Each structure stands twice: as structure tokens, then as C-alpha cells.
Amino acid sequence: MFNRSISFKAPHNLLLILNLFSLSLVMLFNKSFDRLSIGVVLGLTLTIYLSNIILLKISSGDNYILLIVSMMMSLGIIMIYRINPELGFKQVIWYMLGIFVFYATYFIVKKIPYWNKAMYLYIGLSLVLFLSTLIFGSNINGATNWIKIKGYSFQPVEIIKILFVFFLAAYFTNRDKFENKYILSAIVYAHIGFLFIQRDLGSAMLFYLVFIIIFYVYENDRKFILLNMLGASLMGVMGYFLFGHVRVRVETWIDPWSSISGKGYQITQSLFAISEGGFLGTGLGKGYPTFIPEVQTDFIFSAIIEEMGILTGIAVIMLFLILIYRGIKISLEQRDGFFRIVSLGITSMLGFQAFIILGGVTKLIPLTGITLPFLSYGGSSLIMSFASLGILQVASEYIHFDADEEETIDEQRAKKNN
């Protein structure tokens, strides 16, 4: 599907140089020349370089998506390591684990058939994870979406994201057997309802946006789509009146300056950091990103702009746009109905997640508690993002076009319209 050439190796070399120079600057700033720091620099650069080279050898699909993500990871780790070397080292470990998960997911999804037959399994697993979160979950920043086990914590919703996309893809692939848009909507809103109960409204909005995109593409009843959009608007209004932390975020979005030392402190510090960076930034180690609470997770974009400049911030946005473009291209060229929807869903998930957090830290929209994919510090979010990327890699090369197999979704829709 995608052409490969020897010249494609040039970006890997540029990325290798970028990591070596940038991480060396961070080491100079932190005055850390111990074996651990040197191991972080060499381990990260070699992992990024080799992972992309290996992908060129084993995959006939789109080899640009991992390269794009590698660039994002480089910027994220450089910034996190500058803010806190210990967290930077942990992020490198998470990245290496994420690369392993990427390849493991790639081979598992590629080798195991009949993913479109397991719709009920996806619903069941999601229900189990939701119930586990409600029973064993811990409340962090107003949302009960973490499970802690022996000092380690993870967010089950990160796994549910992939199950949710697989469920939608399985439903629309097999809609000729059990098409019922009302039952579909009930299951989708049950997912969103669980997230409301957990007070994880950022994820609830993300799930809804992914659903409405896929629903808009594959549902013929436009009135029903508008009805869903109206229902979602009413749920948003209800969330504002039911949850105090939602009202706080809306109020700080409208006017953070009136409480600059209180609830508006985080967003105002983010805006100060962005304005301080200018076009080229203050330079690595010369800014004050630690003035922003939770800067390594929710506000990593603001920290990058402060020390690397608005131009680097624009580059981050462009990387996301290119990743979304590649994902949509994969979806359009994929001839297997299931993987076409999966690639659209995963691309929408990553794109909307980036938009929600980028819009939040720049005060374009109210801030929500989700991370910036591939740049923010975190374990479960990063690993599941790499799992999603591995699935997208399979979709970029897996073209299913057997006349003896089931009809494609487009054929089903054309037959229904006729």
C-alpha cells in the first residue's frame, strides 16, 4: 500500500542526531553524567532508531506513523527529563515497554482472525473493567478512574478505549445480522454513563466524539444522528450542574484571572509559560515549567513551548495533523470493513484526545484531565496508545478483498439503499 525507499532512512538519522544533542543539553543542565543518565541517552536513541529500522524490514504498511510518534516521544521525554530526571528515566522505561507492546499488538492482531466476530466479548470485557473501576478504583483529582495494585496504578479506561472502537467496528461490520441503532446507542451511552459515574468527563467526551464520527459515516438516518447530538448536549449541561469540579473548570475557562492564586492558578501559569516562550523559546533549562502544577502530565505542551518556542509547539500540532492524515488515509485505502472502521476509530481517538488537551492548556476549551498522547508522562496511557498504534499499523497493510468472504460495508449500504 505504501512505497518504501532507501531515502526514507534519512529521517531516522535526523531523529538520532536530535535525541543525542537534546538529551546531552539536558544532561549538562542537570549536571548529571552518571552511568544512569548516559544509559538513558543511549538507550532512548538506540531504541527509537532500531524500532523504526525493524519496522521497515517486517511491515509492508505505513512506516511513517511510528516515525511520527517517535518524534513526539523524543520531545516529550526530553522535556520530562529536563523537569525531573527521575520521571524522565521512568518515561524511557515506559517508552521501551510501549515499543514492545506495539510490536506484540502488531503480531497478535495480524495473526489472529475473526476480530469482527467478537462483539459481545468486547462489551463484556468493557463491563468488567468498568465495574472493577467502580469497586476498586481510587479517586484522583475528582475522578474515580485509577486502580492501584501493590503500589502500581493504571487506568482501565485506556483498555476500554480500544475495546470500544473494536465494538463499534464489529457492530457495523455485521449490521446485516443484528442491526438495531437503538440498542447500539444504549450500549454506547452505557459506556458514557459509567464514565459519568466515575466523574471522568474528559474520557466521556472522547468516547462520544469517536462514536459520533463513526456513526455519522456509517449511519443513514441523519435525524437519529442529530437526536444523538442533542442528547449529548443535554448530558453536557447536566454534567455542569451535577458535578462541582466541572463548574470550576468552566468558570476558570471563562475567567481564570479573577482567581489567579486559587483555582485559576494552573491555567494562568500555562498561559504565562506559553507567552514567555516566544518564537524560539527560552532554551532548555532556562524556563520555569515547574511553576505549573502537574506540568509533566496535563501541561507538557505548555512546558515545551516555554523552553523550545512556539515554532516547536506548531511542529507538535503539525505532527498530530500528519498522524491523523496518515490514519484517515489508511482508513480510506483499507478494503476490509472491520479494519477500515478500526483505523478510523483509533485515528479519531488520538486526534480528539490531542485536540481536547491542547485546547485546554491554551484556554480554547475548558480543561479536562486527559493526557497528550505520546508526549505526557504516564504509563497506562502511553502503553495503550502504542497498542492502538500497533493495530493501526496492521490496518495499513492488511487488505482483505476476497470475493468469497462477507460483503464489505459499502456493499451492504448500497444494497440497503437500493
Question: Could you report the per-residue pLDDT of 251-307, keeping only the tens digit for each?
Answer: 888 888 888 888 888 899 999 999 998 888 888 888 888 888 888 888 999 999 999
Question: Could you report the per-residue pLDDT of 11-32, keeping only the tens digit for each?
Answer: 777 777 777 777 777 777 766 6
- pTM attached to this predicted model: 0.87
Q: Is 281 in contact with 307 (CB distance < 8 Å)?
A: yes
Per DSSP, what are the bridge partners of residue 148? 153
Distances (CA, A) of 63 to 4, 52, 54, 321: 8, 8, 10, 16
Q: Does residue 4 surpass a pLDDT of 70? A: no
Q: Which residues of 198-207 are buried (b: 16+ CB within 10 A; e: fewer)?
A: bbbbbbbbbb
Q: What is the DSSP string of 325-358?
A: HHHHHHHHH--SHHHHHHHHHHHHHHHHHHHHHH
DSSP one-letter code for 154: E
Q: How confident is the model over 181-204, as a mean pLDDT?
A: 87
Burial class (CB in 10 A: 0-12, 13-18, 19+), 36: exposed
Please indicate, yes or no, if residue 408 is contained in any of the structural domains.
Answer: yes
Q: Return the minimum-mean-pLDDT range out of 41-55, 82-96, 129-143, 320-334.
A: 129-143
pLDDT band at 345 (very low <50, low <70, confident <90, very high): very high
Please indicate, yes or no, if residue 388 is contained in any of the structural domains.
Answer: yes
Question: Could you report the per-residue pLDDT of 305-331, keeping only the tens digit for each?
Answer: 999 999 999 999 999 999 999 999 999
Please indicate, yes or no, if residue 225 is contained in any of the structural domains.
Answer: yes
Domain that holds residue 83: 6-417
Mean pLDDT taken over the chain: 83
Q: Does residue 99 surpass a pLDDT of 80? A: yes
Question: Of the candidates 50, 34, 136, 37, which has an alpha carbon nearest to the alpha carbon of residue 84?
Answer: 37
Q: What is the DSSP string of 133-144?
A: HHHHEEEETTEE
Please indicate, yes or no, if residue 1 is contained in any of the structural domains.
Answer: no
Please indicate, yes or no, if residue 366 is contained in any of the structural domains.
Answer: yes
Q: What is the DSSP string of 208-258?
A: HHHHHHHHHHH---HHHHHHHHHHHHHHHHHHHHH-HHHHHHHHHHH-SGG
Give me the number of domains the chain comprises. Answer: 1
pLDDT band at 200 (very low <50, low <70, confident <90, very high): confident
Q: Is 109 in contact with 390 (CB distance < 8 Å)?
A: yes
